[in-house]
Structure 1
Amino acid sequence: MITNISIVSVFVKDIDESKKFYTDVLGFREQDDITLGEGYRWCTIVHPSQPELAVNLAVPGPPLAPDMVEAVERALEAGTMHGLGLGVDDCRRTFEELSARGVEFIQEPSTRPYGTEAVCRDNSGNWIVLVEPSEKPYSAADFD
């Protein structure tokens, strides 16, 4: 029986630089950083409030086919890869704090049916969606 989601992977350009971004800027902490056979590096970070969910920071490479590696690298370079959705308690305040730390936002906080969201990029170009959930349920009709 499946009990939970325990690992998600995010492709990055440079593991060391990404680990610094996620820990120093976003407040995650390092969990594992191990080099395995054939130079494969297993690097995970976790958020202190959710240590049971590890984020694997991975450079595109084997076992992906070379054409897939190239496609992922192009998407990272273009800044169009989807990364993580992060829950926040105050989207506008978090937007201000992260902007002051130099985080690039591609969407300022906006009200959506499910809450207030802002979209930024990590230092590899992955989209990170910050979501402050709504206190009351909305429907699409509320935003016509």
Structure 2
Amino acid sequence: MKQQLGQLALLVSDYDEAIRYFTDVLDFELLEDTVMSESKRWVRVSPPGSSCHLLLAKAANEAQQQQIGFQAGGRVFLFLYTDDFWRDYRKYTSRGVEFVREPAKEAYGTVSVFKDLYGNLWDLIEPVKQ
């Protein structure tokens, strides 16, 4: 059997704001932006070359609104792998991305933690080359 993750839903408060952040700040690609109804769009973004996508899902009710930025209860939620940690760290820092943990060399690679525009925590990781 072969399986893989295709996409993850990420709660956002505004589609256009989230699209701008992921495409302009993190350099993700906008894969799809399809209007489904007056209040719902199907918006997918992805890091260049990734087979796993983020579905930007606008919170539809108060319970969902309360979870924006807190989908993992304050833990690191998403892991962004890169082929050049320092290039991306410097680029993101220059674009105002808030890193909440200093870069560190770990057994698995170079890593730092940043917050996205909603407060979700991400690891930026350059894995050790095998």
Report the TM-score when normalising by structure 1: 0.75
Unaligned 5+ residue runs, structure 1? 137-144
Corresponding residue of 1:57:
56
1:3 corresponds to which residue?
Answer: 3
Alignment of 1:18-57 (within 5 A): 18-37=18-37, 39-50=39-50, 52-57=51-56
Given that residues 68 and 118 in structure 2 are in contact (C-alpha distance below 8 angstroms), is that contact kept between their aligned partners in structure 1? Answer: no
* Distance in 2, Cα, partners of 1:131 & 1:124: 20
Note if contact 1:5-1:53 (Cα within 8 Å) is conserved in structure 2.
yes
* Structure 2, unpaired ranges of 5+: none
> Deviation digits for residues 64-86 of structure 1, max 9, x if unmatched?
xx5x425414737xx93644211
User: Cα 1:74–1:118, aligned 2, differ >3 Å: closer, same or farther?
Assistant: closer
Render the CA deviation track for 1:23-67: whole Å, top value 9, x for unaligned: 1111111111122246222111122212x32210112226xxx5x
Q: SS where residue 102 of structure 1 aligns?
A: coil
* Between 18-27 and 52-61, the greater mean CA deviation after superposition: 52-61
Q: Which residue of 1 aligns with 2:119?
A: 125
- Classify the secondary structure of the residue corresponding to 2:52: strand
Flag as ranges the 4+ runs of structure 1 deviating above 4 A. Answer: none
Look up the SS of the partner of 1:110 in the other structure: strand
CA distance in 2, matches of 1:48, 1:9: 18
Match of 1:91 among 80, 85, 93: 85
Matched length: 129
Residues 104-123 of structure 1 aligned to structure 2 (within 5 Å): 104-123=98-117
The one-letter code sitting in structure 1 at the alignment partner of 2:41 is R
Query: Deviations for 1:114-133, whole angstroms, at most 9, x for unmatched residues?
Result: 11101111111111210111
The answer on whether the counterparts of 1:84 and 1:127 sit within 8 Å (CA) in structure 2 is yes
Q: Deviations over 1:101-143 (max 9, x none)?
A: 111111121122211101111111111210111236xxxxxxx
- TM-score between both structures, scaled by the size of structure 2: 0.82
Tell me the C-alpha RMSD between the 2 structures: 2.5
Larger radius of gyration: 1
